[in-house]
Amino acid sequence: MTSPRILIVDDEADLRELLEITLVRMGLDVDSAHCLEDARARLAKADYALVLTDMRLPDGMGIELVREVAANCRNTPIAVITAYGSADNAVAALKAGAFDYLSKPVALEQLRQMVQSALHMNVTGISADHRNAQAAGTSSCLVGQSGVMQDLRLQIARLARSMAPVAITGESGSGKELAARDIHAHSARVDKPFLAVNCGAIPEALMEAEFFGYRKGAFTGATDDRDGFFQAANGGTLMLDEVADLPLQMQVKLLRAIQERRVRKIGSTVEEPVDVRLISATHQNLAECVEQGRFRQDLYYRLNVIELRLPPLRERLDDIGLLADAILERLAAPGVRAVLSPSALDALQAYAFPGNVRELENILERALAFANDGLIEVADLALKAVNSPAIDVRQASDAVALAMPDAAALHVPTPAARSETTDAEALPSSLPDHLDGIERQIIERALLKTRFNRTQAAGLLGISFRQLRYRMQRLSIHEPE
């Protein structure tokens, strides 16, 4: 069996030799080129498992080669070597299609890791875009066959081939975390951890310790050494969810970690290298946050190398049938088949879904409790009004009828109370509004009890942080200033 062949493009003889020796010791075949023209000639003759190019070459810039390889040799990953501190070049190369970059002076351990990743892509067949897209189609956890979803899967397949930081945008509940998981699942990092961190849920005082870890004795209560998110996700993917919620001070530290690819535990004197692919997500407009001075421009630039937009559910109403089937299959008791009646499906397809797929899940979960023999009718969905897809999102949000059934039970009048009230008084004029009111009260009580610690409040209510955040958004419950 022949060894994978790597092409090194560099005009500095010393560096070229160092790279050659390192790669040959890894059991690889190496060709070298000293300029763009030489590299093009070699690329025309042979297939390479990886191209590694310097940015500055005697007859042009390495980024030209990145563009050419990305366009003409789709199965060949290309990485660049950038001068120390030239973050802009690294970002430009990633945007142009480079799969990764190394900064000078080249750390050999990083070089080996990068080469391994590139080879892993080829071995697993992740390198071929079309195969990858197919794989993403069959093994994706993102349900949906609409045109926008197919495009999304294709983009995910491409993104999975690179180390470039991805910024996922999209409304709440539209599947940002699921998309991040898909990128990881189709990347060479699949055997390593995927870690999703909710930046909005970490108390500010603990943030540095949570992200970078700490040494024993670094502060009161630090009884052992502990890894942070970066170490825990080493070799894999770290998703920074709700990244706009990061306090400015933490943004500076995060930027440094990204640029240096190194982190320092609290209480430690040494930095340790970390190899983490970053994916960030937010439902806020990060560019606006930058304008308002709430988010650092330099960090935005580093995180936003490639943008992936998740379409809201109302832009892909064709997917509702498939989504509902998948959700009902998950929710229904074993051996029970739950289905939507044709008119219930019509009603959902005419609805605006301000809360996107999460809202669909909540609607179906509730409907299933009311449905007869697993057949969900329009009334079971408890959609307050059948909105047209073009409806204003805020209006639609008010129109959602979701509530916790146990909360509803709290307000059923006792027999004594019932005897004192007329039927008309006992019945709310709008059940959805009434249930929303109850839900609001309960959530506010839990938040007060936990001094607005949303993670703890969610725990008290037996729901996830995300579910609580969704419900707070829906009911416009905000933390007091």
Q: Is 474 in the site for ligand ATP (CB under 6 A)?
A: no
Among 15, 143, 408, 460, binds ligand ATP (CB under 6 A): 143
Q: Is residue 362 a contact point for ligand ATP (CB under 6 A)?
A: no
Rounded Cα distance between 128 and 157, Å, is 9
Q: Which stretch binds ligand ATP (CB under 6 A): 49-57, 176-184, 376-384, 448-456?
A: 176-184
175 touching ligand ATP, by CB under 6 A: yes
Choose between 222 and 332: whose C-beta lies nearer to ligand ATP: 332
- Give residues 262-321 in contact with ligand ATP (rule: CB under 6 A): 283
Nearer to ligand ATP, 9 or 196 (CB): 196
How many Cβ atoms sit within 10 Å of the Cβ of residue 304? 19
Q: Among all residues, whose Cβ is closest to ligand ATP?
A: 175
Q: Determine the interface stretch with ligand ATP among 16-24, 173-181, 209-217, 248-256 (rule: CB under 6 A).
A: 173-181
Residue 480 Cβ, how far from ligand ATP at the closest point, in Å?
22
Residue 354 is a binding residue for ligand ATP (CB under 6 A): no
Q: How far is CA 74 from the centre of its chain?
A: 25
- The yes or no reply on residue 177 touching ligand ATP (CB under 6 A) is yes
Q: Is residue 5 classed exposed, middle or buried when 0-12, 13-18 and 19+ CB atoms within 10 A define those classes?
A: middle
Which one of 13-21, 57-65, 268-276, 357-365 is the stretch in contact with ligand ATP (CB under 6 A)? 357-365
Nearer to ligand ATP, 94 or 202 (CB): 202
Torsion angles phi and psi, residue 142, rounded to 5: -80, 110
Residue 143: how many CB atoms within 10 A of its CB? 16
Of all helices (H) and strands (E), which one includes residue 31? strand 29-33
CB of 345 to ligand ATP, least distance (A): 17
Half-sphere exposure of 396 (CA within 13 A, CB side): 18
Q: Answer whether 6's CB lies under 8 Å from 119's CB.
A: no
| CA distances in angstroms from 256 to 85, 87, 241, 250, 252, listed in the order given | 11, 11, 19, 10, 6
Residue choice 53, 162, 174, 304 for contact with ligand ATP (CB under 6 A) = 174
CA 305, CA 292: separation in Å to the nearest integer?
A: 21
**Binding stretches for ligand ATP (CB under 6 A):** 142-144, 170, 172-178, 241, 283, 323, 326, 357-358, 361, 466, 470
